[in-house]
Amino acid sequence: MTAFDCYKTYLAFKNHFTRDTFDYFKYGGKTNASVASFNKRRDRYFFEKMSRQKKDDEIVDYFTAIFSQCDDPQRMWIGEIIQTGDEKYKDWQKKVQSLSYIFRQEMEHLFEDIDFNSVFVCEQGKHPVLVKEHLKKNVSIESLIILDALVQYKKRFDSKLDDFVWKTVSLKVDKYKPFLLNSIDLDKYKKVLRRIVM
């Protein structure tokens, strides 16, 4: 991957995680960017360095990590990525490697004092227990995605919650979901959840 290709990948991820209408997979990670605009950028060296140091699939994982782990991808800027990107990428790699353990720990905590259905009760305009626990950082974005894949709670939440906080979380779940679910065995997580709530 050239430095310019790396830059286009960055733009594709930025568009994917911040726009409802852009889909990284639908457009094959492609964006409209010109070499001239790339050559004018002061941060061009970052993309040149990355293209030399990382393989193509590592670059995709890198940007997946950066955009999926930030609180608000809309506010993510390249300076922040340059400063903290490598650290966030390493943390994300550790998280993904131990995801089944993290999921089990989070689910044990989540269902410790509350029954299964109560976690998903969503009244008009009020955040459910699941969302509150995510906002407290007790439930990761990965666990939200896995739970949605298993019990399909998100459509109901989307219909009843209209606040900025939920919309930001909901968009991140939608955008990160295809990247995460393509890399895990969902049956394994179904068994973990079943053991905890049964």
Task: Report domain extents, the chain.
Answer: 3-94, 99-197
CATH class of 99-197: mainly alpha
Comparing CA positions, the residue from 60, 58, 63, 67 lying closest to residue 141 is 67
Asked if 152 contacts 118 with a C-beta cutoff of 8 angstroms, the reply is no
Per-residue pLDDT reduced to its tens digit, 50-102? 999 999 999 999 999 999 988 777 777 888 899 889 999 999 999 999 999 99
Domain 3-94, architecture per CATH: Orthogonal Bundle (1.10)
- Rounded to two decimals, the pTM is 0.88
> Exposed e or buried b for every residue in 149-174, given b needs 16+ CB within 10 A?
beeebbeebeeebeeeebeebbbbbb
pLDDT at 197 exceeding the cut of 90: no
pLDDT tier for residue 144 given thresholds of 50, 70 and 90 = very high
pLDDT at 105: 97
For the chain, the C-alpha Rg in angstroms (whole number) is 18
pLDDT at 74: 78
